[in-house]
């Protein structure tokens, strides 16, 4: 599958309807399961789905981070992306949930997950550099530029960054983090940048994976702020605004 599909549309030009064709972002049914019994169904963009499966296992606390990352078997069944993860160290599975939205974590309580250790921490990103990185990410959101309908997440490391897009902001985070595990080199992680707001769900994913700094183009929710303070995560909200919001242990 691809991330875009051309569809006939009507454009309004000078007050008149004109027939045209636009690229629209594709939503696909994605099913992820593990050999320990974890399973979830979600909607997402059918690109980098192996990254999505590994990242979801990390960010939702399925995989405990011991030993080698899960291996992934991927097939397409009746236009559904089916991914099966195999590893040795898993948490106890929750009941299967069919998710109507794209996050794969809806319905969980707003608890304080413990800061994970799967991702090694590198030097933090200061504000001036953060602004440059956010602008660069916007320039490289090719799927968004084509469709206007996707989110992005970029995991900034000491060796560069891993940028992924998805119609779901949560799945973009999963993909970026999963790409780190799939890359093989696995350099130290400096921060996670997200193209929208930072709600509790995105912060919880970052915390479970061990991300120590999050930069958001949009706002920080109250619950995300509480979780970040509880776990000592640095956060920047409204990163491109006139008054960026900063919270966490910023003192040197």
CB 153 within 8 A of CB 206: no
Q: Which of 59, 103, 191, 198 is catalytic?
A: 103
- Dihedral, CA of residue 54, residue 60, residue 61 and residue 67, to nearest 10: 10
Phi, psi of 231 (to 5 degrees): -105, 5
E strands in the chain: 4-13, 16-25, 28-34, 39-44, 71-77, 80-86, 97-98, 151-157, 160-166, 189-194, 213-216, 234-237, 245-247
103 part of the active site: yes
Question: Mind telling me the catalytic residues?
Answer: 103
């Amino acid at each position: 599958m691809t991330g875009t599909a051309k569809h006939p549309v009507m454009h309004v030009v000078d007050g008149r309807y004109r027939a045209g064709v636009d690229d629209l972002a594709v939503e696909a049914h994605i099913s992820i399961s593990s050999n320990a019994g974890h399973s979830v169904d979600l909607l997402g963009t059918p690109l980098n789905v192996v990254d999505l499966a590994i990242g979801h296992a990390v960010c939702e606390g399925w995989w405990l981070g011991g030993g080698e990352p899960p291996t992934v078997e991927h097939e397409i069944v009746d236009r559904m992306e089916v991914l099966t993860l195999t590893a040795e160290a898993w948490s106890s599975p929750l009941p299967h949930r069919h998710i109507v939205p794209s996050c794969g974590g809806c319905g969980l309580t707003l608890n304080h997950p413990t800061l994970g250790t799967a991702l090694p921490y590198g030097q933090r990103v200061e504000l001036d550099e953060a602004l440059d990185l956010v602008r660069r990410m916007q320039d490289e959101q090719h799927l968004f530029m084509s469709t206007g309908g996707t989110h992005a997440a970029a995991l900034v490391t000491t060796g560069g960054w891993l940028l992924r897009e998805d119609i779901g902001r949560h799945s973009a985070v999963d993909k970026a983090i999963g790409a780190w595990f799939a890359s093989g080199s696995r350099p130290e992680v400096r921060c996670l940048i997200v193209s929208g707001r930072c709600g509790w769900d995105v912060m919880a994913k970052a915390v479970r994976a061990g991300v120590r700094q999050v930069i958001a183009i949009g706002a920080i929710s109250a619950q995300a702020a509480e979780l970040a303070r509880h776990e000592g995560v640095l956060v920047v909200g409204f990163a491109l605004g006139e008054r960026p919001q900063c919270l966490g242990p910023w003192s040197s």
